[in-house]
Chains A and B, each alone.
Chain A
Amino acid sequence: DAGVTQSPTHLIKTRGQQVTLRCSPKSGHDTVSWYQQALGQGPQFIFQYYEEEERQRGNFPDRFSGHQFPNYSSELNVNALLLGDSALYLCASSRQEGTEAFFGQGTRLTVV
């Protein structure tokens, strides 16, 4: 049983560019959340998707957007990248009625 998988594992982008990160949830999970983890800090909630809709959002600007597909996989898009967007981006999946979130290995984004 594959856990949460994310791609790519590492990415380098130039300031101002756009990036798309991908996540496949754990088998049996229908809810996907995205978190940003800056170096030396705990993860910060970006948003959560369920039934292909964003149903909760953290304190992140509109440059951060997402999508969930019918197979429950998800994408995180960040536009107009800033140097401060450099971080580990984590995807977590869970069941809608469950409370335990399982994380992927993350995508390390570096903006130069």
Chain B
Amino acid sequence: GQQLNQSPQSMFIQEGEDVSMNCTSSSIFNTWLWYKQDPGEGPVLLIALYKAGELTSNGRLTAQFGITRKDSFLNISASIPSDVGIYFCAGQLTHQTGANNLFFGTGTRLTVIP
């Protein structure tokens, strides 16, 4: 199956600092999505990217769909304590049946020190 490698695995940053994480794959995806997951909760969609090279922002979050369609990055500017959590990238494949499914990265655990 598709392997998505996400880095870094974990980050400890000071409040106010910027954060950058990325995701690489051996396969091409139609869509890249970034999710945040808090303990005991389901993933919450942050940003969706649909075209190679696309750069999209959502508040303090900015994400890009790599030109090769095999990678994506997420930046968080001016981090705050509520940014704490696990961030997952996900690549979406659409099949001939019309079905689509997500392949998730390994996750980046973010800790923000006040």
Contacts and interface: CB of A to CB of B under 8 A. Distances in A.
A4 interface: yes
A92 B33 CA distance: 14
A105 B39 CA distance: 10
B39 to A, nearest CB: 10
B101 to A, nearest CB: 4
A99 interface: yes
B106 interface: yes
Interface stretch (A12-20, A54-62, A68-76): A54-62
A112 B43 CA distance: 26
Interface in B86-114: 88, 90, 92, 94-95, 97-107
Contacts of B59: none
A45 B101 contact: yes
A56 B102 contact: no
Contact of A90 (B43, B99, B105, B106): B43
Contact of A99 (B40, B48, B97): B48
Given A99-B92, A100-B48, A103-B42, A56 B97 contact: yes
Contact of B42 (A41, A56, A90): A90
Given A42-B106, A56-B95, A99 B41 contact: no
Interface string A90-112: 10101010011111111010000
A100 B42 contact: no
Contacts of B30: 99
A45 B102 contact: yes
Given A48-B99, A99-B30, 16 more contacts: A42-B90, A42-B107, A43-B104, A44-B104, A48-B101, A50-B98, A56-B97, A58-B1, A94-B100, A99-B94, A99-B100, A100-B33, A103-B35, A103-B42, A103-B43, A105-B42
